[in-house]
Amino acid sequence: MNLYDQLKPEFREQLEKDKETYPISCGGLVNTLKNKKFVIELTIGEVGDLVRFLPSLSFDINEIYKAFNK
């Protein structure tokens, strides 16, 4: 199961909504999440994008892990 599928539903909904407004940057993030299986695979830049599009998250690694259903 990829990271996009593991993402909590409210965060997936937010990304899908933002993808309409920001098709390149947010769409790229969605593609990244669909191509990776583990949080540890994300680069710092990708985590930054995740935090930018999901402002309820912080750069804290524990917060990032909590965004996914594990």
Question: pLDDT (tens digit, 9 = 90+) per residue, 5-63?
Answer: 999 999 999 999 999 999 999 999 999 999 999 999 999 999 999 999 998 888 888 88
Are 68 and 3 in contact by the 8 Å Cβ rule? The answer is: yes
pLDDT-derived band of residue 70, with 50, 70 and 90 as boundaries?
A: low
Q: What is the spatial distance between Cα 26 and Cα 5, in angstroms, rounded to a whole number?
A: 16
Q: What is the spatial distance between Cα 24 and Cα 57, in angstroms, rounded to a whole number?
A: 21
H helix or E strand, kind and range, residue 45: helix 44-53
Q: What is the spatial distance between Cα 36 and Cα 32, in angstroms, rounded to a whole number?
A: 6
Q: What is the spatial distance between Cα 70 and Cα 48, in angstroms, rounded to a whole number?
A: 21
4-17 pLDDT tens trace? 999 999 999 999 99
